[in-house]
Amino acid sequence: MDQGKAWIALAGAVMAAAAFAPARAADPQGFPQHAVRIVAGQQPGSATDGIARVMADALETQWGVAVTVDNKPGAGGTIGAEAALHAGADGYTLFIGGTSNLVIAPATDASLRYDPTRDFLPVGRIANVPFGFAVNADVPAKTMGELAALARARPGKLTYVTLGPGTTTGFGMSLFRAEAGVDMLAIEYKGIASAYPDVLAGRVDVVFNEIGALAQHAQSGRMRILAVATPHRSTRLPDVPTTGEQGFPRVVVGSWYGLLAPAGTPPEVHKRIADAFALAMRTPAVRKRIEALGYEPIDDTPAQFRAALHDDIAAFRALSR
């Protein structure tokens, strides 16, 4: 074979290999063929991070490939959402989203650069996360009514933790301030894990966050839980009254966390992820780990997750008017 024919044959072989390789890489029957990443939009040690690690371990056990957690904190989890979207829709980057970045931010921030109902494919919700109010032990208030009275007596003086206006933590405090008619000073943090040392040390007065973390930090004696922001008392904190019991029935704010893939993920790959998720959520050991974090496991299908997402965004838009 002369040199020209040899080059033509080689080029043809290269082109055939290139055409064949993507088909094999995208084969849903072989998914996943390498490590999978789960983006979490909060710091290590946060609720989002804890849920992400439970799910990563469960999927890694099923798939036999590494499933890692990539923390992208900031802006109430919206930075993590954008990072997941920009990573590509091949199933190898997933996202743990929650009420903050999938519901409150889209319902309240017109400048948000993504639409959760358009840009993500729901896989399933993982857990409900009840929230509550707590104060530093040096704050004299023992009830939500006393906290409101104290804030009225010291306008603009009491401080509270916020992770930004488009977050569950920020929204819950805004709702309380509006209902109580009080002026308080917001202290913004990049992540909730950074805020607790200041609350415990007395540098910040009030925090609204998930009750699992509140209960853990309250054990030190440096923080006191005033209320749970749920319709009924929590089985985790049965002696703590609800906000409704204390005269604030509209201040009912909770959160949930769910697993999503970027829109455009091949349907067959999305189905394999959803099937693995469903199996994980029916595994007793996984559910026990979620409950140990203080959360309530959810067994959602993608369709149920999508419907809940639409309903919650509409509800928060109405609530924030």
Give domain limits for the chain: 33-129+255-319, 131-246
pLDDT: which is higher, 205 or 128: 205
Distance, in Å, from the CA atom of 45 to the CA atom of 191, rounded to the nearest integer, reads: 10
CA distance 263 to 122: 9
Average pLDDT, stretch 278-303?
93
Q: What is the mean pLDDT of residues 268-293?
A: 95
Q: Is 256 helix (H, G, I), strand (E, B) or coil?
A: strand
pLDDT for 179 equals: 95
Is the pLDDT at 20 greater than 80, yes or no? no
Topology annotation, domain 33-129+255-319 = D-Maltodextrin-Binding Protein; domain 2 (3.40.190)
**Out of 22-26, 112-116, 210-214, least confident range:** 22-26
- Tracing tokens 């006191």 back to the chain, one arrives at 224
- Contact (CB, 8 A) for 135 and 226: yes
Q: What is the CATH number of domain 131-246?
A: 3.40.190.10
Q: What is the mean pLDDT of residues 178-198?
A: 94
Q: What is the mean pLDDT of the chain?
A: 89
pLDDT for the residue numbered 321: 67
Query: Is residue 190 very low, low, confident or very high in pLDDT (cuts 50, 70, 90)?
Result: confident
Domains 33-129+255-319 and 131-246 are alike in CATH topology: yes
Q: What pLDDT is attached to residue 206?
A: 98
pLDDT on residue 28: 63
Task: Say how far apart CA 146 and CA 246 lie, in whole Å.
Answer: 10
- Whether cis (ω within 30° of 0) applies to the bond prior to 73 is no
Q: In sequence order, what are the beta bridge partners of 243? A: none
Structure tokens at 271: 């189905």
Confidence of residue 1 (pLDDT cuts 50, 70, 90): very low
19 or 46: which carries more pLDDT confidence? 46
Tokens at 55, concatenated: 């799910």
Residues 51 and 103: their CA atoms lie apart, in Å, by: 18
Of 10 and 241, which is predicted with more confidence? 241
Task: Calculate helix-pair angle for 284-292, 267-281, nearest 10 degrees.
Answer: 70
Which one has a higher pLDDT value, 55 or 9? 55
Kind and range of the H or E run holding 160: strand 159-162
- Which pLDDT value is given to residue 46? 83
Q: Residue 212's pLDDT is what?
A: 86
134-161 as b/e, with b when 16 or more CB fall inside 10 Å?
A: bbbeebebeebeebbebbeeeeeebbbb
Pairing of strands 67-71, 223-228: unpaired
Alpha carbon distances (Å) from 46 to 194, 285, 286 = 10, 21, 18
Pairing of strands 185-188, 120-129: unpaired
Eight-class DSSP state of 166 = T
Angle at 273 between CA 311 and CA 21, to 5 degrees: 130
Residue pLDDT, tens place only, 229-256:
998 998 889 999 999 999 999 999 888 9
- Dump pLDDT digits (tens) for 74-115: 888 899 999 999 998 999 999 999 998 999 889 888 899 999
DSSP label of 241: P
Specify the pLDDT at position 27.
55
Element holding 19 (H helix, E strand): helix 3-25
User: 17 pLDDT band (50/70/90 cuts)?
Assistant: very low
Q: Is the pTM of this model over 0.95?
A: no
276 pLDDT exceeds 80? yes
